[in-house]
Amino acid sequence: MLNYIRAELWKALHSRLAWGLALFLAACAALFGVGMGLEADYAILVSGASVTMLTGMVAAPLLVQVVDGNRGATLKNELSFGLSRGRIYGGKLLAGLLLGLGLCALLLGGLLGIGWFTLPHIDPAAERTALGVLGFSLLGALPIWYGMLALCHAMAVLISGTAVWTTIYYLAFFVGQPILVSLSSLLTGGQPAPLVEHIFMPYSLLMPPYLSGVLTWKHQLLCWAVGLGWGGVGTAAGLICFFRKEIK
């Protein structure tokens, strides 16, 4: 499995899409850093970085395309060499996850590192607090990123057209599900049930309003439950369909 993951990462790192995605995200991080750095100190930059965790959900389909982009050209050969379908599916999923974590480490580390040397340090106590909030937010974002990546990986197996499943993902999570949650609020006195909202709109756990006053271990547990729930459903559905799929 480790050799297969290394091979998938090697292919991904030599992909134009991977480098294009990395350069695009780096440009976004640079613009964010410049915008936050104007008339700001290091503590404000770190606080601003805490509310960018939504990026992982937005980038999930692109990461899956990097890993699964040439699935049709290589999958039959991999099976002919005796690799099991479980190893192939799990290896690609883990490779995509590691690629995303690597990008996150580079972008976030670069942003904070450059900011450390270029921005004034006015309030060390505020900086420590902001770094703690950032670490807490990142810890809660990891399982949600995994859940969305696993779901996209499964959709790539179920739906042959990349543009089709990518469009479905964005429309479902950022358009359709908010409408569904709003309709459900009609049954709860005008306010959507918090648990329903978090399950069907996982990004609500990563948005700024939810990072103020709720940085508790209950919130962290909810992030992990929702993220691992989506990840488990996506992985199970993807594996079942992949084992039944005819490879041509």
Binned average pLDDT, 10 residues per bin, the chain of 248 residues: 83 86 90 76 87 88 81 67 81 91 92 89 88 89 94 87 88 71 58 69 70 72 92 92 76
Judged on CB neighbours under 10 Å (0-12, 13-18, 19+), 202 is buried
Instruction: For the chain, give every domain's residue range.
Output: 2-244
Determine the pLDDT at residue 200: 76
Determine the pLDDT at residue 208: 53
Determine the pLDDT at residue 78: 72
Judge whether 131 and 50 are in contact, CB under 8 Å: no
Determine the pLDDT at residue 218: 84
Tokens matching residue 148: 């969305």
Judge whether 43 and 126 are in contact, CB under 8 Å: yes
Q: What are the φ/ψ torsions at residue 223 (nearest 5 degrees)? A: -60, -45
Judge whether 159 and 150 are in contact, CB under 8 Å: no
Contacts of 40 (CB under 8 A, 6+ apart): 119
The count of residues in the chain is 248
Q: How far apart are CA 93 and CA 107, in angstroms?
A: 21
pTM for the model stands at: 0.86
